[in-house]
């Protein structure tokens, strides 16, 4: 077990939950985030406040710091070298990447380079970083396997995530840095992002506003509950790859291996809230894919775990949290 873990994007959805899990395991955690305004900064600050209110918060410190800040990150790892890094900071959002590609170039490409350099100079035992199921693009073969070709991203966000994988592999090869990329599949749960379907639909249905439904709700997603994602992150962190078969670099899907249609998600929220959705039907959007579906055999074999929380149970927990957070 690593003693000191640097978690980037600690004010984010997955970052907050990961930091909490590491604290529960006895780690000392440094969390960084630039607190940008892509979505409500108040929600990000509330996540940090929740971490700082924990009984074990004496082992947690938060710094407002951008991963693209080479001098700032360099100084941080020189002054207090981490044993491991969990790199979750990124500019998120498939559709937003079409509107603001430069934000993705700075956060996802420059930021990844800065973190790779930090990992190299700190001599970390393991760098675990967030990739995405979006790297599979429009692949028709289902479920998606880590061995599939991923040469044709259909969004710039996906392109940056695929680039991150190649960048990490090069550093593993050149500097013998154990690094693992995690391809997350449609994560949802308490403290999630307001731009995600589970949040958007729940909020609109509770408020009696229309929801935007693309491609008649027939798109399928491998919705994966946040606790399962974090369990996967933590288990992988404890199992750095070796150079036995080349560079010490690995890739894993982390998904529920059980895709649902968007229509099924909507029906479930209607049942949980007791309210009917008002639907605005729209065509499929640029950058979207028809389906995501994770093959998780490699993860199961490596760390003895795969996500399994049913969508019904995960959404029940999310809607309960959502009502409590908003007081509705």
Active site residues: 157
Q: Give me 314's structure tokens.
A: 């995960």
Read off the DSSP letter of residue 287: T
Characterize the bridge pairing of strands 126-132 and 84-87.
Answer: parallel
6: which 2 tokens? 């640097």
Round to whole Å and give the CA distance between 85 and 128. Answer: 6
- Rounded CA-CA distance 52/240 in Å is 29
Tokens at 60, concatenated: 């947690």
Distance CA(95)–CA(103), nearest Å, equals: 13
Q: Is the dihedral of CA 52, 58, 62, 63 positive or negative?
A: positive
Angle at Cα 260 formed by Cα 256 and Cα 262, nearest 5°? 130
Residue 24 to residue 54: CA distance in whole angstroms:
10
Phi, psi of 316 (to 5 degrees): -60, -45
Q: Tell me the three state secondary structure of residue 290.
A: coil
Q: Could you tell me which of 169, 188, 159 has the C-alpha nearest to residue 262?
A: 188
CA-CA-CA-CA torsion sign (164, 233, 241, 82): positive
Structure tokens given for 309: 């929380």
């Amino acid at each position: 077990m690593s003693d000191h873990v640097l978690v980037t994007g600690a004010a984010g959805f997955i970052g907050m939950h990961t930091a909490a899990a590491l604290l529960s395991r006895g780690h000392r955690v440094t969390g960084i985030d630039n607190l940008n305004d892509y979505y409500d900064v108040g929600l990000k600050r509330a996540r940090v406040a929740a971490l700082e209110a924990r009984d074990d918060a004496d082992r947690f410190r938060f710094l407002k710091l951008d991963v693209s800040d080479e001098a700032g990150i360099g100084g941080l790892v020189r002054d207090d070298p981490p044993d491991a890094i969990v790199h979750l900071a990124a500019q998120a959002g498939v559709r937003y990447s079409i509107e603001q590609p430069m934000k993705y170039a700075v956060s996802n490409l420059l930021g990844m380079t800065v973190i790779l350099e930090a990992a190299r100079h700190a001599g970390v035992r393991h760098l675990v970083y967030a990739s995405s199921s979006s790297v599979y693009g429009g692949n028709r073969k289902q479920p998606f396997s880590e061995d599939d070709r991923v040469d044709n991203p259909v969004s710039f966000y996906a392109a940056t995530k695929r680039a991150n994988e190649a960048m990490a592999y090069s550093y593993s090869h050149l500097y013998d840095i154990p690094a693992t990329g995690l391809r997350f599949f449609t994560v949802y749960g308490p403290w999630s992002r307001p731009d995600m379907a589970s949040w958007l639909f729940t909020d609109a249905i509770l408020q009696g506003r229309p929801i935007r439904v693309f491609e008649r709700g027939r798109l399928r997603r491998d919705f994966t509950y946040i606790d399962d994602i974090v369990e996967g992150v933590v288990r992988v962190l404890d199992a750095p790859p070796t150079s036995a078969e080349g560079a010490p670099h690995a890739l894993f899907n982390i998904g529920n291996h059980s895709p649902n249609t968007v229509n099924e998600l909507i029906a479930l929220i209607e049942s949980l809230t007791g309210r009917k959705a008002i639907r605005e039907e729209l065509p499929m959007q640029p950058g979207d894919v028809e389906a995501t579906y994770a093959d998780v055999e490699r993860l199961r074999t490596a760390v003895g775990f795969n996500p399994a929380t049913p969508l019904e149970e995960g959404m029940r927990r999310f809607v309960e949290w959502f009502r409590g957070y908003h007081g509705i």
